[in-house]
Chain A
Amino acid sequence: MPQIEVMDLAKVFERRQVLDGISFEIEGGEVFGLLGPNGAGKTTTMRLLLGLLRPTRGEARVLGVPLADHPDVRRRVGVLLEQSGMADRLSARENLRFYAALHGVSRETVDDRLGRAGLIERADDLVGTFSTGMKRRLGLVRATLHDPEALLLDEPTSGLDPAAQAGIRDLISGLARESGAAVLVNSHHLDEVERICQRVAILDHGLLAAIGTVAGLRQGTGPRRYGVVFAGGTDLERARGLLASFGPVQNGTDPGELVVELQPGTAPAVLLRVLFEAGIGVEEARYRARSLEQVYLAAMERGAV
C-alpha cells in the first residue's frame, strides 16, 4: 500500500484555483520529488497532506488516513516545513527534547542525533543565535528524530552550503533506503531532486505538468536528442544544414558536437548515411538524455499532462 496518496486533489483559495486535480502515490522506501516554480502549489500540497488545509476536492492521505483527523498517526510522520519550526528562545537541546517527548523518544537519542548532525557543541545555545543552515540541519534532526514512516520535507537544503546539502541528501536517501520511509521532497533545486529522487512530479499553476521516474522523464516520449561529434576540421555549418532536415539542431556540450532532435520513427542510421554520403567524418554518435532542467522547462511550456 502506498504510504502517501494524493487523489484528484484540488484547492481553491477565495476563487483562486491553487491546485487542480493532482494525483500521485509514494511507496515506502521511495524518495519522491515535487518540483515547480514558486506558486505552483507545492507547499499547498504539503499542507493538505498534513491536514493543515482542507481539500476543496479529492483526498490526501498519509499512512492510509487523512492526517487532520488522526493526531495519533501524526506521531509516525516527520515534517520539515519552510520554517524550521524551532523556538528561537529555546536551546537546540530544549527544542528537540520537547518534540522527543511528544514522540516518546529518549533524551539519549536527542544527544546522539545532535552529535551526528554536528550540533552537539551548540546544543545548549539558543536557536535564535543559529545561522540559517544550522537551523535547517536542526529542523531535519527534529523531523527525523522519531524515525518516521513518512517524511515530508519542504525545501530541505535551502540556505545550506554545498557540503551541508550533500550531507542532508545522504541522510534523506539513507532514511528511505534503511528504514523504508516514504519521503516527499518539495524543491526547486533540480540537481538535488535528480540526485535523490526516484520519481518526480512537476507542478505548474496547480496542475500536474509531468510525472514519472527521473530516468523516464529524461528519456521522454517525444523527439529524442541525438548527439553527433564531428571529426576535427569538419565544416560544422554544412553539417548543421544537413542535420536540420531531421529536426531542430543545437550545439552540444562536447567540442565539435551538434545535437539534433530526432522525431520518433527516424532511425539514426539514416542520418549517419546522409552525413557519410556528404563526406562528413563522424567521431561519435549516440542518444543524449535530456537533463531534468530541460524536462522541467519543457513541462512548464507544455502545461498539464
Chain B
Amino acid sequence: MNPVLLVAQREVRVLLRARSVIGAGALVGLFIGATPIFTALVTGQDLSGLYLQAPVLGVFLGYLFSQQAFLREKQDGTIETVLSSPLTLRAIWAGKVLGAGGMAALVALLCTGGALLAAVLAAPIALPVTPVLVVHLVVVVPLATAVAVGLLGLVQLLLGLRENQVLNLALVLALVALLSVGQVVSGPSPTPEAEAATVVVLGALLVLLARLVGLVDRERIIRTIA
C-alpha cells in the first residue's frame, strides 16, 4: 500500500478510538451545522448561509482532529519512531492530512447533511440542489479542511506545546476570517467562477504547504517534543 495511505489509515483508526474527540466534534458539528438552517427558519431567508457554515465547520473539526494526529504524537514521543521509519516527513504529513482531514470533512458533511435533513422534515424549506452547491460540499469543504489540518499540522510539528496552544486557535480564527471575506467578495450564493477560483486557491495553498513541509528540519521537530 502507498505509504501516505498507510499513514492515513492509521490516523483514521486512532481517531475512531478517540471517542471524546469524536464526541466533541459531533457536538460542535451539530451546533454549527444547524445554525444556517435555524437562521433560514426564523428569518424566512434561503439556505445560502450553508456556503460559509460547511467549510467553517470543516476548519473547526480539522483543528480538533489535527491535535490528535500531530500534537499527540509529539507529546507522547511516538513521532521519533515514526521519523526513524522509512517514511519521509512529507509522506507522514500528507498521510495525517488525508486521515485527519478526511475524517473532519466527513463529520462536517454528515453534520451539515443531518441538520439539512432535519430541517427539510420539520419545515418546508426549499433546498436548491445546484451543481455549485454539490461542488462546494464535495470539493471546497474537504479542501478547506485539508488546508486547515495541513497548516495546523505543519505548525504543530515546528512549535512546542505552549506556542501551539496560542497559535493554533489564532490560525483557525484567521482561516475562518479568510473564508468569511471570500464569501463577502463572492456574494451569499457563489457563482461557478467564484467556486472554481476558491478551489484553485485552496489547492495552491495545499501544494505550498506540502512544499514547506519538505523544507522542515527533523531536528526542529525533535527539539520541540514536549
Type the 1/0 row for A71-105, where 1 means its CB is closer than 8 Å to any CB of B. Answer: 11011010101111111111000100011011100
- On whether the beta carbons of B222 and A53 are closer than 8 Å, the reply is yes
Measured between beta carbons, the chain A residues less than 8 angstroms from B84 are 50, 52, 67, 74, 77, 79, 81
Interface-forming stretch among B59-67, B73-81, B133-141, B159-167?
Answer: B73-81
Residues of A contacting B3 in the complex (Cβ-Cβ under 8 angstroms): 102
Closest approach, in angstroms, between the C-beta of B140 and any C-beta of chain A?
Answer: 31
Q: Provide the residues of chain B in CB contact with A142, threshold 8 Å.
A: 81
Stretch of B10-18, B123-131, B205-213 that contacts chain A: B10-18
Q: Are B76 and A52 in contact (CB under 8 A)?
A: no
Best-surrounded residue of B13, B77, B85 (most CB of chain A within 10 A): B85
Residues of B within 8 A of A156 (CB): none
Closest to A49 in B: B84
**A52:B80 contact, CB within 8 angstroms:** yes
A87 touches B85 (CB 8 A): no
Contacts of A85 in B (CB 8 A): 77-78, 80-82
**Interface residue from B78, B83, B87 paired with A52 (Cβ < 8 Å):** B83
Any chain A CB within 8 A of the CB of B193?
no
User: A81–B14 contact, CB under 8 A?
Assistant: no
Are B14 and A87 interface neighbours, CB within 8 A? yes
Is the beta-carbon distance between A52 and B218 smaller than 8 angstroms? Answer: yes
Shortest C-beta distance, B157 to chain A (Å), equals 13
Hey, which chain B residues are within 8 Å of A169, CB to CB? none
Contact A71 B86 (CB under 8 A): yes
CB distance from B87 to the nearest CB of A (A): 7
Whether A71 contacts B77 in the complex (CB less than 8 A), given A90-B17, A101-B6, A102-B3, comes out as no
- A204 CB to closest chain B CB (Å) equals 23
Are A87 and B6 in contact (CB-based, < 8 A)? no
Among the interface residues B13, B80, B81, which one has the most CB atoms of the partner chain A within 10 A?
B81
A-B pairs with CB below 8 Å: how many?
74
Tell which of A52, A75, A90, A94 has the most Cβ of chain B within 10 Å: A52
- Residues facing B in A82-130 (CB within 8 A) are 82-90, 94, 98-99, 101-103, 126
- Residues in B with CB closer than 8 Å to A103 are 86
Interchain CA distance A53-B80 in the complex, whole Å: 11
CB-defined contacts of A290 to chain B, threshold 8 Å: none
Q: Are A102 and B17 in contact (CB under 8 A)?
A: no
Q: Name the interface residues of A33-74: CB closer than 8 Å to any CB of B.
A: 47, 50-54, 67-68, 71-72, 74
Contact A101 B13 (CB under 8 A): no
Given contacts A54-B217, A83-B77, A94-B13, contact A47 B6 (CB under 8 A): no
B218 lies within 8 A of A51 (CB): yes
Which of A77, A84, A89 is in CB contact (< 8 Å) with B14? A89
Query: Smallest Cβ distance from A127 to chain B, in angstroms?
Result: 10
- The answer on a CB contact under 8 Å between B77 and A82 is yes
Q: Closest CB of chain A to B14's CB: distance in Å?
A: 5
Chain A residues whose CB sits within 8 angstroms of the CB of B222 once the complex forms: 47, 52-53
The CA-CA distance from A184 to B157 in the complex, in Å, is 28
How far, in angstroms, from A102 to B14 measured CA to CA in the complex? 18
Interface bracket on A: 20 to 34
The reply to whether B78 and A87 contact each other, CB–CB distance below 8 Å, is: yes
Contacts of B14 in A (CB 8 A): 87, 89-90
CA distance A89 to B82 in the complex (A): 15
With contacts A53-B219, A89-B17 taken as known, whether A102 is within 8 angstroms of B77 at the C-beta atoms is no
Q: Is B215 an interface residue (CB 8 A)?
A: no
Minimum C-beta distance from A7 to chain B (A)? 19
Select from chain A the residue with minimum beta-carbon distance to B221: A52
| Contact of B1 with A by CB under 8 A | yes
A77–B219 alpha-carbon span in the complex (Å): 19
A79:B86 contact, CB within 8 angstroms: no
A244 CB to nearest B CB, Å? 53
- For B7, the closest partner residue in chain A by CB is A98
Contact in complex: A83, B78 (CB < 8 Å):
yes
Looking at the assembled complex, report how far the CB atom of B217 sits from the nearest CB atom of chain A, in whole angstroms.
7
Closest to A67 in B: B84
Instruction: Assess the A102–B81 pair: CB atoms within 8 A.
Output: no
Q: Does B191 contact A (CB under 8 A)?
A: no
Q: Which residues of A contact B218 (CB under 8 A)?
A: 51-53, 68
Q: Hey, which chain B residues are within 8 Å of A84, CB to CB?
A: 81
14 interchain pairs, CB-CB under 8 A = A13-B223, A52-B218, A81-B80, A83-B78, A85-B77, A85-B82, A87-B14, A89-B14, A90-B13, A90-B17, A94-B10, A102-B3, A102-B87, A126-B17
Known: A75-B86, A101-B6. 6 other contacts (CB 8 A): A52-B83, A71-B87, A82-B77, A83-B81, A84-B81, A90-B17
- Using a CB–CB distance below 8 Å, which chain A residues touch chain B? 13, 47, 50-54, 67-68, 71-72, 74-75, 77, 79, 81-90, 94, 98-99, 101-103, 126, 142
- Nearest 4 interchain pairs by C-beta: A85-B81, A83-B77, A89-B17, A75-B86
